[in-house]
């Protein structure tokens, strides 16, 4: 059984702060890691993905991957109220389907 | 920007009835997926489809479910005899190919309510 663990939150951060979202996964065969954002009642929206150990930056977002620790994180710099959503971590092994975590609910307080 | 479109946005059906959910994937994408999300729960994989056949399916995707690509643009999910527990958001997704680095792009979803 492939497990993806995320703290359900809510994670509350003040506007302008850095939000740190964490994810651990059980499947050592996972090769790529996707972060999706989901607003309430909406569909998952791709933010970014990473497949090499280390950091990958895209605008205000940075994904960090440590395959040895089976850990992936997403940092959001200069958090805005519009970033308030649930963030879904989804590892993927090879060409297998996405396995989603339950997500972390982020609340950015203005 | 190209997007995945799904219809209808909301479907209300009596238990035991058949329902067909429709999706138009992004035009140059080759792999198609259906996921579902029961209210308050995580997004779950149902089935993937490539070259007019199912490439992988989950335990959820039992004999009551079927998928079809009836023409060059549509991709459908059929539930033959709906149950109350089929009530969920159903998301269609597509990707250019299924290499591990290829992202899947999701449609807005169909909210299925079984009465």
Q: What is the mean pLDDT of residues B71-98?
A: 93
A31, burial (CB in 10 Å: exposed 0-12, middle 13-18, buried 19+): middle
Q: What is the mean pLDDT of residues B58-86?
A: 94
Q: Which of A3, A25, A44 to mutate to test the interface with B (most CBs of B within 10 A)?
A: A44
Query: B41, A102: Cβ pair inside 8 Å?
Result: yes
- In the A/B pair of chains, how many CB contacts fall below 8 A? 54
Angle of CA points B55, A4, B31, to nearest 5°: 25
Q: What is the mean pLDDT of residues B17-26?
A: 97
Query: A97, B58: Cβ pair inside 8 Å?
Result: yes
User: pLDDT digit string (tens) for A95-107?
Assistant: 778 889 999 999 9
A2 vs A7 pLDDT, higher one? A7
Of A44, A45, A95, the CB nearest to B100: A95
Of B48, B103, B109, the CB nearest to A49: B103
Taking a C-beta distance cutoff of 8 angstroms, is the pair A23, A66 a contact?
no
Residues B36, B112: Cα–Cα separation, whole Å: 10
Largest CA distance in chain B: 40
pLDDT > 70 fraction of chain A, expressed in percent and rounded: 100
- The whole-chain average pLDDT of chain A stands at 93
User: pLDDT digit string (tens) for A62-85?
Assistant: 999 999 999 999 999 999 999 999
Angstroms from A91 CA to nearest CA on chain B: 10
In B, which residues are within 8 Å of A90 by CB distance?
A: 43
Whether the per-residue pLDDT at A1 is higher than 90: the answer is no
pLDDT, position B100:
66
Query: A95, B99: Cβ pair inside 8 Å?
Result: yes
Whether the per-residue pLDDT at B101 is higher than 80: the answer is no
Of B41, B58, B107, the CB nearest to A43: B107
pLDDT, position A2:
77
């Amino acid at each position: 059984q492939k497990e993806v663990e995320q703290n359900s939150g809510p994670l509350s951060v003040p506007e302008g702060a850095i939000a740190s979202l964490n994810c651990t996964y059980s499947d050592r065969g996972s090769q790529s890691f996707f972060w999706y954002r989901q607003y309430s009642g909406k569909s998952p929206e791709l933010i970014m993905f990473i497949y090499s150990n280390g950091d990958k930056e895209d605008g205000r977002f940075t994904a960090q991957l440590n395959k040895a620790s089976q850990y992936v994180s997403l940092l959001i710099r200069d958090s805005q109220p519009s970033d308030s959503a649930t963030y879904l971590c989804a590892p993927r092994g090879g060409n297998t389907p996405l396995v989603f975590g339950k997500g972390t609910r982020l609340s950015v307080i203005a | 920007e190209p997007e995945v479109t799904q219809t209808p946005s909301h479907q209300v059906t009596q238990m035991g009835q058949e329902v067909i959910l429709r999706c138009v994937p992004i035009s140059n994408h080759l792999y198609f997926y259906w996921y579902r999300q029961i209210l308050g729960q995580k997004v779950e994989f149902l089935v993937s489809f490539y070259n007019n056949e199912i490439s992988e399916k989950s335990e959820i995707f039992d004999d009551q479910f079927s998928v079809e690509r009836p023409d060059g643009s549509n991709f459908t999910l059929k539930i033959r005899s709906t149950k109350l527990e089929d009530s969920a958001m159903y998301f269609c997704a597509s990707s250019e190919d299924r290499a591990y680095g290829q992202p899947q792009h999701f449609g807005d979803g169909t909210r299925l309510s079984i009465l």
